[in-house]
Amino acid sequence: MTVKELAEKLGLKALSMPDGDREVLTGYAGDLLSWVMGKAPSDAAWFTIMSNINIIAVAMLRDVSAIVVCEGAEISNDVIARAEEQDINLLVSEKGIYDLCVELAKMI
Amino acid sequence: MSVPLKFHYDVHGEDFTSAGNASVQAKKALRQLGYDPNIIRRVSIAMYEGEINMVIHADGGSADIIVYPDYIEIVLADKGPGIPDVSKAMQEGFSTAPDNIRSLGFGAGMGLPNMKKHTDDMKIDTVIGEGTTITMRVNT
């Protein structure tokens, strides 16, 4: 499944999607960035409520397919600009992390 | 013998929003050199954790990547307070990061353990009141 398909199927809004054809192989949920930095698998859709600018570097260095900021957490324009600059797919949803992960699990 | 390739980055302590920039740049540079993605990920994650530590604890510092024929060396140097108890700092979950840093998602006490986990060798030279230099090696 691609990031674009993920967005369509889970009803996610794309704030930055420079690489919609990127494959999503798995999912990961976590908010502690230093934990995520040590553990997130590459090619995962990363579900989080953390929305500060440091999520972009974590996603880039960890090679996740997309960041999905959940539960309607607010994202500033700086974060969106940094995502575009670093070619990071950044998606948002009003839904909870658990619900999104359950839906993803049914699809992969 | 050819001179090893070096990349030098300054890590700014005052600005948490730019934390990670040096690691991102280093990752791009190593990509251009054609390294295996797994090697690049290990180097850049180890460097990122060090960079974050320098921003949190030492008001910044410097990061150098030195590319040798069969390994990549990462040298992180700061003039911060030093690490009083290195073995304690190496334990997962031990952190002295302040609350404002924790609210950003850092301070889980994973930094140094992550650095060790992602590298083949890691050496910590620290002097209280003078600073810390961490030298890591990733075999290529």
Q: What percent of chain A has pLDDT over 90?
A: 95
Tokens (6 digits) for B94? 């031990």
Measured distance CA(A93)–CA(B79) in Å, rounded: 42
- What is the pLDDT at residue A22? 97
pLDDT average per 10 residues of sequence, chain B (140 residues): 87 85 94 95 95 94 96 97 96 92 89 95 98 98
Q: Measured between CB atoms, does A60 come within 8 Å of chain B? A: yes
SS3 track for A28-50: EECCCHHHHHHHCCCCEEEEECC
* Confidence band of A41 (pLDDT split at 50, 70, 90): very high
- A80–B contact, CB cutoff 8 A: no
CB pair distance less than 8 Å for B27 and A50: no
Which residue in chain A is spatially nearest to B44 when comparing CA positions? Answer: A61
For B117, nearest residue in chain A (alpha carbons): A38
Q: At A66, is the secondary structure helix, strand, or coil?
A: strand
Is the confidence at residue A101, as pLDDT, over 60? yes
Residue A37 in contact with partner chain B when CB distance is under 8 A: yes
Find, among B52, B46, B57, the residue nearest to B20 by Cα: B52
Residue with tokens 């699990």: A105
For residue A18, which of A61, A74, A65 has the smallest C-alpha distance?
A: A65
- pLDDT attached to residue B54: 95
A62 vs B contacts (CB less than 8 Å): 41, 45
- A50's CB contacts (< 8 A; 6+ apart) are A31, A33, A69, A73, B105
Instruction: Examine the pLDDT at A34 and tell me if it is beyond 90.
Output: no
Fold of A3-107: 3.40.1390
Q: Are B37 and A63 inside 8 Å of each other by CB?
A: yes
User: What's at B127, amino acid-wise?
Assistant: V
> How does DSSP assign chain B, residue by residue?
-PPPEEEEEEEESS-GGGTTHHHHHHHHHHHHTT--HHHHHHHHHHHHHHHHHHHHHSSEEEEEEEE-SSEEEEEEEE-S---S-HHHHTSTT-----HHHHTTT--SS-HHHHHHHTSSEEEEEEETTTEEEEEEEEE-
Using the structure block, give the residue that is written with the tokens 């959940």.
A70
Give phi and psi for B122, each to the nearest 5. Answer: -145, 130
Residue B1: the pLDDT is 56
The distance of B122 to chain A (nearest Cα, Å) reads 16
Mind listing the pLDDT tens digit for each residue in A46-99? 999 999 999 999 999 999 999 999 999 999 999 999 999 999 999 999 999 999
**Mutation for testing the B interface, residue in A31, A34, A48, A63 having most B CBs under 10 Å:** A34
Q: Enumerate domains of chain B plus CATH numbers.
A: 5-139 (3.30.565.10)
The two tokens of residue A96 are: 């909870």
Q: Which of A101, A43, A41, A44 is nearest to A71 (CA)?
A: A101
CA distance B69 to chain A (A): 23
